[in-house]
Amino acid sequence: MIDLRSDTVTVPTEKMRLAMASAQVGDDVYGEDPTVNLLERTVAASCGMEAAVFAASGTMGNQAAVMAHAGRGDEIICEESAHVFLYEGAGIAGLTGAQARPVKGRSGVLAPDLLEGYIRPLNDVHQPLTKLICLENTHNHAGGNYYRLEELSGVAAMARKHGIKIHMDGARVMNAAIALKVKLSAITAYVDSISICLSKGLGAPVGAVVAGAADFAARVRRARKSMGGGMRQAGILAAAGLIAFNEMADRLEDDHRRARALAAGCLALGFDLDLAAVKTNIVIVPAADPDRISAALKAEGVLANKFGAGRFRMVTHYGIDDNAVDYTLEKLKKIKNG
């Protein structure tokens, strides 16, 4: 099967499996797992942040971060199709007890002019306090679009003016860094915290890392424990995570190139998509009948999911080579014409 459903389907590399087998471990709830500690120090340093915490998943990372930034009755602004709002089991409400305030972005990107009217005044007892702005980078529903540094700088200045923190759902932030040709720290300079997934394009089997200030990280650790995320000998997982974080980012450019090739092929086949909007490894294709296309592709050995009404999604990753792209386009041609 050619699996374009997501970059979450990547399996650990041989090098990761070997590192996992020989990882030094200890009880991480006591802070004694040397491999987890090394991963946390490595990610924090790359982000230019004081501390980091290893989490079981991107969802746990985001939700622990929200819990650490906000409390019951607070309000959290996020983009209207953000993962933290749409796909995390209403964790903002259910776990933190806060209220999400969705704002429509421009191709997933929030900007000061869009946000300003949503910031609550401090002196009105009727209204909740705006505690946090969540930015998704890259933005999944917006087809992998990323924030340009000047866009981040604008939101950061506005948030600072109002005393509001920024959390970045950086599940795919390494895709953004590679596309922008900047270091991770150039992006994280504009946010108070970030959650980075190791198990998407970077290929680790499990895990995400949340980074931020030391006091924030201590609260994340507490929130993570309350969700059952104190993972004991988690160095087995962190060993793969270290290889993912240190060695798997550079090759993401190949995924971006193949996503562009898939998109260009779809355009040539008559699908109505904007090639310029395909910036990283996600291709969202508008189609009147995404269920039919998805089922017909499956019958030909290609997996691609319907992604909301009237569109399907294809995500490139290191399990997808040039032949897989060509094969997929060949089958799409047959399906579209048939």
Residue 107 contacts ligand TLP per CB under 6 A: no
Tokens matching residue 35: 């491999």
**Per-residue string for binding with ligand TLP, 204-243, x by CB under 6 A?**
----x-----------------------------------
**Per-residue string for binding with ligand TLP, 121-160, x by CB under 6 A?**
---------------x---x--------------------
The CB-of-169 to ligand TLP minimum distance in angstroms stands at 5
Q: Which of 64, 100, 184, 197 binds ligand TLP (CB under 6 A)?
A: 197
Count of other CB atoms within 10 angstroms of residue 181: 8
Residue 304 contacts ligand TLP per CB under 6 A: no
By CB under 6 A, the residues from 44 to 63 that bind ligand TLP are 57-59, 62
Q: What are phi and psi of 138, to 5 degrees?
A: -75, 165
Number of residues that bind ligand TLP (CB under 6 A): 15
Tokens matching residue 199: 């198990």
Q: Which is nearer to ligand TLP, 129 or 208 (CB)?
A: 208
Q: Which is nearer to ligand TLP, 108 or 129 (CB)?
A: 108
Residue 8 contacts ligand TLP per CB under 6 A: yes
Strand locations in the chain (E): 2-3, 51-55, 75-79, 99-103, 130-136, 165-170, 193-197, 208-212, 282-286, 302-303, 305-306, 311-315
Q: Which is nearer to ligand TLP, 8 or 99 (CB)?
A: 8
**CA-CA distance, 235 to 27, in Å (whole number)?**
9
Q: Which of 33, 169, 192, 255 binds ligand TLP (CB under 6 A)?
A: 169
Q: What is the CA radius of gyration of the chain?
A: 20
The CB-of-1 to ligand TLP minimum distance in angstroms stands at 16
> DSSP letters along 151-177, please?
HHHHHHHHHHHHT-EEEEEETTHHHHH
Beta bridge pairs of residue 167: 134, 193
Q: Which is nearer to ligand TLP, 10 or 129 (CB)?
A: 10
| Helix, strand or coil, per DSSP, at residue 117 | helix
Residue 171 contacts ligand TLP per CB under 6 A: yes
Q: Which is nearer to ligand TLP, 35 or 145 (CB)?
A: 145
Q: Which is nearer to ligand TLP, 199 or 328 (CB)?
A: 199
Residue 31: name the closest of 225, 243, 198 by CA. 225
By CB under 6 A, the residues from 67 to 86 that bind ligand TLP are 83
Count of other CB atoms within 10 angstroms of residue 318: 17
Residue 258 contacts ligand TLP per CB under 6 A: no
The CB-of-282 to ligand TLP minimum distance in angstroms stands at 8
Annotate 95-112 with three-state secondary structure: HHCCEEEEECCECCECCH
Q: Is 29 exposed, middle or buried (0-12, 13-18, 19+ CB in 10 A)?
A: middle
Contact positions vs ligand TLP (CB under 6 A): 6, 8, 57-59, 62, 83, 87, 136, 140, 169, 171, 197, 199, 208
